[in-house]
Amino acid sequence: MKNMSPWWIRIPVVFFLIFGLMEYFVDSGDKLAIIEYPIAQLFLLMVLLILIAIELVLSSIENIMFQTLSEEAKERYFISNLKQWEWTWGKKTYQRMLGSKPIEKEAEIILDHNYDGIRELDNELPPWWVYMFYATIIFGVVYVIRFEVYNDYDQISEYEQEVAEAKIAIEEYKKTAKGLIDAENIELLTDASDLSAGKAVYEANCIACHMADGGGGIGPNLTDQNWILGGGIKNVFNSISEGGRDGKGMVAWKQILKPEEMAQVSSYILTEIVGKTAASPKTAEGDIWVDENAPPAPEGSVSPDEEKSREDIAPEQETDSTNTVVD
């Protein structure tokens, strides 16, 4: 037992070694194995208990052997036990790295000058410092060759790459986070659950002005193909989110509804209300919406009064900040 490290080093070292090996070999995805599989905690507890048991057994064996020794041998055992554990390698390396002369040998390196009683030791530079200095020289050479001679990446390309990565990450995030919908990235929702959620939003907030069937009242008719503020999912979402023209009565619902709810109600209007026949429809207002991205409509399918309604509405729209009609 003489040359061994003490138990308070042995147990933690062995314990964390086993812990590390377990984490390495047990495939537990991103999480630690002890979190993923609670049984692993039990296993580690067992390991710890076994380690402690081994230590106890060893020390009682040592104890028994000690009892069998002669008095003189006991004495020797104590003395050797006192200096049993010293980390000689660490100590020696530390001394070497400092490189200073022991005090007894300082006479060898003292310089002749005497400045009012202050004298100077001609110590060598400490090796830890010298090695670090060499390391910086090597680093500098490698750096100059890599970045000045071979023009490896620079800060600008590093920055651009990080921005590009971040943009991809944002897009990924937006795909999964429904609450982040805005007028730019909104798409028509088609899930039945979204549409019925949209219907619920519509019935709770919108029928007072647009009627349950969308025929219109204070607000315009939503069943026809004419839109004051522009049709298509993006414009409809924008009208709901930002509200109508000043003084018309359509508030900016973004203060009341979540983006997700506005997306649902927009989709509900476009799929379930547009195109239906209302009981008492209001006369159409605004332009017939033509989707620029849609395949071109057959000749003559645009209603003849489109031009007229455009004129009706144009002057008013100019002062309108929320106007999204695409002319």
Shortest Å, Cβ 297 to ligand HEC: 19
The correct pick among 206, 273, 278, 288 for binding ligand HEC (CB under 6 A) is 206
Q: Are 200 and 260 in contact (CB under 8 A)?
A: no
Shortest Å, Cβ 215 to ligand HEC: 13
Angle at CA of residue 41, ends 38 and 42, nearest 5°: 100
Copy the structure tokens of residue 184: 């730019």
Residue in this structure with the two tokens 């060598």, named with its chain if needed: 124
Looking at 79-87, 128-136, 183-191, 243-251, which segment touches ligand HEC (CB under 6 A)? 243-251
In this structure, how many other beta carbons lie within 10 angstroms of the beta carbon of residue 317? 17
**With respect to ligand HEC, which residue has the nearer C-beta, 19 or 253?**
253
Query: Could you say whether residue 216 binds ligand HEC (CB under 6 A)?
Result: no
CA gap 262, 266 in Å, rounded: 6
**With respect to ligand HEC, which residue has the nearer C-beta, 40 or 229?**
229
Q: Are 185 and 266 in contact (CB under 8 A)?
A: no
Query: Could you say whether residue 310 binds ligand HEC (CB under 6 A)?
Result: no
Using alpha carbons, select from 186, 237, 207, 216 the residue that is nearest to residue 286. Answer: 216
**With respect to ligand HEC, which residue has the nearer C-beta, 34 or 206?**
206
Residue in this structure with the two tokens 């390196």, named with its chain if needed: 109
Could you give the C-alpha distances from 131 to 70, 134, 310, in angstroms and in order?
A: 52, 5, 81
Classify 34 as helix, strand or coil. helix
Copy the structure tokens of residue 141: 């050479």
The correct pick among 181, 197, 240, 278 for binding ligand HEC (CB under 6 A) is 240
Query: Could you say whether residue 236 binds ligand HEC (CB under 6 A)?
Result: yes
**With respect to ligand HEC, which residue has the nearer C-beta, 141 or 204?**
204
**With respect to ligand HEC, which residue has the nearer C-beta, 183 or 229?**
229
- Binding to ligand HEC (CB under 6 A) within 271-290 occurs at 286
Q: By CB under 6 A, name the binding residues for ligand HEC.
A: 202, 205-206, 208-210, 218-220, 227-229, 236, 239-240, 244-245, 248-250, 253, 265, 269, 286
